[in-house]
């Protein structure tokens, strides 16, 4: 039997009574988390058979759940979600957790797009799903609710409120707790009710939102929220360090990213590795993989498009891995500032704002403007390099990137 969230936890340091764990009752963002995972699977694999048999139904049904969960705030004239727990499990019974509201909005918007698409292009499938889900009524509800959903916006300082009252709460010095080798030492001094009234975050919440929906937010907003929330995060969840390492890599914070990555790695491969005593610590290990491939390998699939933007730590000379993308086996090898991508069938990916379509392999080299090499000299140098790299047949330039196309590395 897999692990489930218990109803009761450790003794309350103040009352001496067991602490009730509300996550299993009101941590409802997991609904849109599942939807996000299904959408990613469809985008990465192109598995329309799965989508038509199972995936679309889940995406539509989860949107129906969110429609039932939103409440109309008469005073403020918007739909909101009250009494929830977001990814930050140290904030219970809060209103308008940013991650929950944004992902619920995304889930409903996606469902509306799917329903419209099926009605226009696949009427047979639409009618089958309409019979069980009443899509006609649901589409009207989604169209009505979407523009009126409250999405917490950045403050004048650029900080997205984690929930309605987070930014008003007490701030304490978390240094001794963040530097502790053990997790949860905060609760040697406070109970959860007290922590709920402090600006203390257990794990990535707003920062997780910025990672998953990076296209919605400018880099400046991401940096300001990183600077605000990371110092207030205890990383008491084993899933927190890897997510922060990943986002830090995206933001160019290489030293901080690698420090967090090593801490995440050591949870399961360090000196005191007891977290897997009762079985594989799958989620934590998956987080390390995410930090490696998504963070340092720079892999993303956004809106169905593959992007590769490596961010190698200074401590690593190279990184090589393979992924399967829309039935293609895509090999990625990063050596210093050189990116090599290979494939066994045609694939298109984006890199530094440019789109590349390859059928075998490509090498991308940054052209260093500081060396004062003119285009002709630089071209001759890379033509010579191409001759030395046996098997290459073409060379070209795209912006500040030199491109070598060929058959093998």
Residue 35 has, within 13 A of its CA and on its CB side, a CA count of 28
Distance set, CA 177 to CA 22, 49, 172, 259, 262 (Å): 23, 49, 11, 17, 18
Q: Own/partner pairs for 156-159, CB < 8 Å, 24+ apart?
A: 157/224, 157/228, 158/220, 158/221, 158/224, 158/225, 159/224, 159/225, 159/228
* Beta-sheet pairing, 18-20 with 71-73: unpaired
CB 202 within 8 A of CB 193: no
Judging by beta carbons within 10 Å of its beta carbon (0-12, 13-18, 19+), is residue 173 exposed, middle or buried?
A: exposed
CB 262 within 8 A of CB 270: no
CB 127 within 8 A of CB 181: no
* Beta-sheet pairing, 338-343 with 392-398: unpaired
* Sign, Cα dihedral of 233, 23, 138, 145: negative
CB 291 within 8 A of CB 242: yes
Supply 292's token pair: 């490696």
Helix or strand or coil: residue 347?
strand
* Beta-sheet pairing, 305-308 with 347-351: parallel
Judging by beta carbons within 10 Å of its beta carbon (0-12, 13-18, 19+), is residue 284 exposed, middle or buried?
A: buried
Helix or strand or coil: residue 106?
helix
Q: List active site positions.
A: 89
For 68, residues 6+ apart whose C-beta sits below 8 A from its C-beta are none
């Amino acid at each position: 039997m897999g692990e489930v969230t218990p109803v009761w936890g450790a003794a309350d340091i103040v009352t001496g009574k067991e602490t009730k764990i509300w996550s299993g009752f009101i941590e409802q963002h997991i609904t849109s988390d599942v939807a996000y995972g299904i959408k990613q699977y469809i985008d990465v694999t192109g598995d329309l058979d799965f989508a038509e048999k199972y995936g679309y139904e889940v995406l539509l049904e989860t949107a129906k759940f969110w429609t039932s969960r939103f409440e109309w705030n008469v005073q403020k004239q918007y739909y909101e979600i009250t009494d929830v727990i977001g990814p930050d499990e140290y904030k219970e019974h809060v209103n308008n957790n940013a991650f929950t509201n944004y992902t619920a909005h995304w889930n409903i918007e996606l469902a509306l797009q799917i329903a419209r698409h099926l009605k226009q292009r696949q009427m047979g499938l639409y009618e089958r799903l309409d019979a069980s889900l009443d899509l006609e009524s649901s589409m009207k509800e989604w169209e009505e609710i979407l523009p009126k959903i409250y999405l917490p916006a950045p403050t004048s300082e650029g900080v997205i409120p984690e929930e309605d009252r987070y930014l008003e709460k007490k701030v304490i010095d978390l240094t001794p707790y963040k530097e502790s080798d053990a997790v949860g030492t905060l609760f040697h001094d406070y109970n959860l009710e007290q922590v709920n009234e402090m600006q203390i975050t257990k794990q990535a919440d707003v920062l997780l939102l910025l990672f998953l929906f990076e296209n919605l937010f400018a880099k400046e907003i991401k940096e300001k929220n990183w600077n605000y929330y990371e110092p207030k995060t205890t990383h008491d969840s084993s899933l927190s360090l890897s997510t922060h390492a990943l986002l830090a890599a995206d933001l160019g914070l290489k030293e901080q990213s690698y420090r967090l990555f090593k801490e995440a790695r050591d949870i399961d491969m360090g000196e005191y590795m007891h977290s897997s005593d009762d079985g594989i610590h799958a989620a934590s290990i998956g987080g390390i993989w995410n930090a490696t491939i998504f963070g340092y390998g720079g892999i993303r699939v956004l809106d169905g498009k593959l992007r590769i933007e490596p961010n190698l730590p200074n401590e690593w000379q190279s990184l090589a891995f393979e992924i399967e993308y829309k039935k293609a086996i895509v090999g990625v090898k990063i050596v210093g500032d050189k990116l090599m991508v290979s494939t066994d069938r045609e694939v298109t990916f984006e890199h530094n704002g440019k789109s590349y379509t390859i059928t075998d392999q490509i090498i991308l080299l940054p052209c260093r403007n500081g060396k004062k090499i003119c285009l002709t000299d630089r071209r001759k140098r890379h033509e010579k390099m191409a001759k030395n790299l046996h098997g290459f047949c073409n060379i070209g330039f795209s912006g500040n990137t030199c491109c070598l196309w060929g058959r093998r590395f």
